Structure 1
Amino acid sequence: MEDKLTHLVFSINKNHAFNDGNKRSSLALGAYFLELNGFDYVVKRFVKEMENIAVWVADNVIDKDLLHRIICSVIYEDEYSESIKLAIVEAVEVAEQLNR
């Protein structure tokens, strides 16, 4: 389930399935996929938490492996683990340093 959701979100986001709105489309389709598979309880949190994550995926800040860890955390945990928080912070810091 998590692998398929990660692949769906990542592929729509990165492979430019549409001319515009790929980040939004990846979130909407991810939320719909969750609903179809009985994960209604997490859809609001998924959309809220993934908003910035989708931007970072598009900007190559967050890779597919970290996206998978984040999605698993959103689905199964009440909040991100410390290791995921650190991985996100490190990814963002590295991207900021490269952009300087």
Structure 2
Amino acid sequence: MTTQPTTPPVPDALDQILRRMRLPYLHKAAPDVLATARAQRWDPAEVLRVLLNEEVVGRDAATRRMRRKTPAPAGRLSTKGQQAATVTAQPAPGHRTMS
């Protein structure tokens, strides 16, 4: 039976910064990415690119999940559409009215 090695935790200072900046997807991916980067000697810019990409992908997925939950508003007119409806409801000049 083989066990997977555990990734080292994120340093406390970085953990506090990620929580304060509200980067949950980057925070979740950071231990694995940092361990891989250290083992493979990644360029610091590559580490940053991968971590920020994780955050962007996570936020996009969360946005799609939220949009699926809430139905689109139906039957609402904009103020421009309401103005156009009131203008066309008035009789045109020269037409006789039933008064």
- What is the TM-score of this pair, normalised by structure 1? 0.38
More helix by share: 1
Looking at both structures, which has the greater relative contact order when contacts are Cα pairs under 8 Å and sequence separation is at least 6? 1
- What is the TM-score of this pair, normalised by structure 2? 0.38
